[in-house]
A and B are shown apart, each in its own frame.
Chain A
Amino acid sequence: MKKRVLIAMSGGVDSSVAAYLLQQQGYECMGVTMRLYENTDVGIPKGHTCCSLDDVEDARSVAARLGIPYYVLDFSQEFRSAVMDKFVRTYEAGGTPNPCIDCNRYLKFGLLLQRARELGCDFIATGHYAVIGRREDGRWLLRAGEEDARDQSYVLYSMTQEELAHTLFPLGELPKAKVRAIAEEQGFCNARKHDSQDICFVPDGDYMSFLERWNGKPYPHGDLIDQEGKVLGRHRGAAAYTIGQRRGLGLAMPHPVYVCGKDMAANTVTVGPSSALFSPALLADDWNWIVPPPEDGILRGEARVRYHQAVQSASVTRLEDGQVRLDFDAPQRGISPGQAVVLYQGDLVLGGGTILRALPEHDG
């Protein structure tokens, strides 16, 4: 019997081509668009349209072209609590959230996979650029996508063995240009659609307005200070400032300054020169090992602390409480609490976790 696969279709070119390829490979396919938020959540007036209707229409049109069943399923309540709420709370606690990772973890490979099983599907599939493989001993592995610039393994590090076993990434070994070419060949309406850039629920990139709308009132303004505590200016609510941010500070300084710290209790945002952003080590928790290392000893690997950063060599230590410490060979810029750190060996993802904090010095 044909294996059944549920494809998460966003309306973009990647998931559309993923659906096409799986159909070519002989799977019985079903397309689903996840409705993730209400318009009112993202500042679009009620009664305007429903979700991103253009994307739904694109996905539906591709599904119709392929002749596969297609549905829109509502996950807005779950998205609200598992992703948007956490996004706000992380900012309010002074961190830098990564909602796409949470969405993959809780919504796609959590709830959608569960739903796929209820619907009698063997797999779910997405248009992510990453490669799932299997070791001789049966362990499932995750590898970076073939084309470096497109690799999305960073946002997938939290996948469990169970999730990897029931997920297909048909685009992992293709270059993006090839994917667009397939979409053109197939006459998909979205072949030339732009890649999504911003966080989907903050389409205009204005985090401040989003946070204030969620909060129901503006955040209190406060002082922008330098590393010695000298007041340089005012900030418009500490929550929405991001570590490493340079633009929009409203300061006229002789040299570039960056956000290098936030004290939420004191409601101050600290700025400093680029050099103030560098740390040699970090502590992470909520760690997921895809390839568990030997029980003891220090592991060597390459890590990235933000999306699309070039990987950096580091020594990795597993601490007793499940936390993981990384000591980089060279100090790293802009290590931000709340962001993910993902560990590689070559193109193999060993694991990853959430950055708890940057550490000021090397271990021992």
Chain B
Amino acid sequence: MIYLDNAASTALSPAALEAMLPWMTEQYGNPSSLHRAGQRAAQAVSEARAQTAKILHARRGMVCFTSGGTEADALALSTAAAWGERHGKRHIVSAAFEHHAVLRGLEHLAEKGFSVTFLSPGPSGRIRAEQVADAIRDDTGLVSLMAANNETGILQPAAEVGALCRERGILFHTDAVQAVGHIPVDAEALGADLLSLSAHKFHGPKGVGALLCREDLPVVPLLPGGGQERGRRSGTENVPGIVGLAAALLQADTSMEADMARTAALRDRLAEAVSRIPGVHLTGMDQPRLPGILHLCVEGVRRDTLLLLLDQAGICASAGSACSAGALEPSHVLRSMDVPEPLSMGALRSSLSPANTEAEIDTTAEILSDLIHRLKN
């Protein structure tokens, strides 16, 4: 199997697994308990929190562990909405290519009386900070812009937008689920009041993520309960998950420079090889991108047919987002980039990790070339 779907999920790193194991076996205390078993667990969560904060340049009190990226996004939006209501700012600026966790959340807020402006980047796939500036109104309370797009890998000008928001006293949320662990993310430098991340996107375990959230923002928990995570997120802490998140993040941070160079080289090798296949259009080549994502569209080929044939050949890739049954949804990301429908129907996303090899890349390019040739004839 050649696994090129690391933007969907990644292999758990051995270091994360090792860090987690004690907390799934002999160390089973509840962090809220008074006794020593509980205190040990509380200490583990506390260390994970400190480590996460340090790596992302945030204050420890900002880190709220969640069940993953979707919950972090939902918590960010409900928090920002409460802040907006308190300050009479019920307008939100966001982008049409955001992850569904943000889009659906914003639609929900729109139903509750917020007005939302969705910016489209056009063919570049990258929002310009001036677009955000132009969209901001007197009653704008929140700008939510992802750090890197999950389909195309195109980086967004989060730092510029963050600075803009800070200047105008507007909250800035960034869904950094695809960025954290892959490129340097500095919450302070980004000016992010709210930042979402998910562990299984950077070789951590599934079912755990975090929201970095400015401490003075109103506490609006999604679930009422025992008041864990400083009241922001009730429910017994996922101790092994939290420990695994921090361990994976530390590892990603430690080897980031080398990993970025290696993954980008693999990506470029694949890009170089597939660019020679007739009818292949690479996406966002002139834009700053994540090192691990190569997105392309094949003219006259249906993406699900292509993915299925790749799967039969042992290659796991993706076309963008899929519904829970596994069928493909039309890509709202490509629509926001004005990619014509016949072309977007042929979308293919390869997302790499440092564990991929040159040989895998070459095999993939060869198989892809054969399949596209076959499908077109």
Contact = CB atoms under 8 A, between A and B. Distances in A.
Interface of A: 33, 35, 47, 49-51, 53, 56, 69, 71-74, 115, 118-120
Contact of A115 (B305, B311, B328): B305
A71 B323 contact: no
B327 A35 contact: yes
A196 to B, nearest CB: 17
B56 to A, nearest CB: 30
Contact of A118 (B305, B324, B329): B305
Contacts of B104: 47
A56 B326 CA distance: 9
Contacts of A50: 323-325, 327
B325 A56 contact: yes
Contact of A53 (B308, B309, B324, B328): B324
A50 B100 CA distance: 14
B95 to A, nearest CB: 20
B15 interface: no
A33 B325 contact: yes
B99 to A, nearest CB: 14
A33 B311 CA distance: 16
A118 B375 contact: yes
Contacts of A33: 325
Given A69-B312, A118-B375, A51 B304 contact: no
Contacts of A72: 325-327
Contacts of B325: 33, 35, 50-51, 53, 56, 72
A74 B327 contact: yes
Given A50-B324, A53-B325, A71 B375 contact: no
Given A51-B325, A56-B325, 15 more contacts: A33-B325, A35-B323, A35-B327, A47-B104, A50-B324, A50-B325, A53-B324, A53-B325, A69-B311, A71-B326, A74-B329, A119-B305, A119-B308, A119-B309, A119-B312
A79 B329 CA distance: 15
A38 B328 CA distance: 12
Nearest to A32: B308
A74 B328 contact: yes
Interface string B51-87: 0000000000000000000000000000000000000
A74 to B, nearest CB: 4
Contacts of B304: 71, 73-74
Interface in B199-246: none
A72 B329 CA distance: 12
B305 A51 contact: no
Most buried by A among B308, B309, B327, B328: B327
Contacts of B327: 35, 50-51, 72-74
Contacts of A51: 323, 325, 327
A120 B325 CA distance: 23
A71 B304 CA distance: 9
Contacts of A47: 104
Contacts of A35: 323, 325, 327
Contacts of B309: 119-120
- Max chain B Cβ within 10 angstroms of own Cβ: one of A47, A69, A73: A73
Nearest to A71: B308
Name the prevailing secondary structure of the A interface residues: mixed
A115 B323 CA distance: 20
Nearest to B328: A74
A51 B329 CA distance: 12
Question: Which of A49, A69, A118 counts the most B-chain CB atoms under 10 A from its CB?
Answer: A118
A35 B328 CA distance: 10
Nearest to B324: A50
Closest 5 CB pairs of A and B: A50-B323, A35-B327, A74-B327, A72-B327, A56-B325
B324 to A, nearest CB: 5
Contacts of B328: 74
Contacts of A73: 304, 308, 327
Contacts of A56: 325-326
A53 B325 CA distance: 6
Nearest to B329: A74
Interface in B293-319: 302, 304-305, 308-309, 311-312
B86 to A, nearest CB: 27
Contacts of B311: 69, 71
A119 to B, nearest CB: 6
Nearest to A76: B327
Contacts of A118: 302, 305, 375
B375 A49 contact: no
A87 B210 CA distance: 48
Interface string B341-377: 0000000000000000000000000000000000100
A47 B101 CA distance: 11
Interface string B79-117: 000000000000000000000000010000000000000
B370 to A, nearest CB: 12
A69 B375 CA distance: 20
A53 B308 CA distance: 20
Nearest to A57: B325
A150 to B, nearest CB: 28
Interface string B182-210: 00000000000000000000000000000
A74 B320 CA distance: 14
A49 B324 CA distance: 7
Contacts of A74: 304, 327-329
A22 B104 CA distance: 43
Interface string B35-46: 000000000000
A35 B329 CA distance: 11
A157 to B, nearest CB: 29
A81 to B, nearest CB: 14
A250 B312 CA distance: 57
B278 to A, nearest CB: 18
30 contacts: A33-B325, A35-B323, A35-B325, A35-B327, A47-B104, A49-B324, A50-B323, A50-B324, A50-B327, A51-B325, A53-B325, A69-B311, A69-B312, A71-B304, A71-B308, A71-B311, A72-B325, A72-B326, A72-B327, A73-B308, A73-B327, A74-B327, A74-B329, A115-B302, A115-B305, A118-B305, A118-B375, A119-B308, A119-B312, A120-B309
A53 B323 CA distance: 10
Contacts of A49: 324
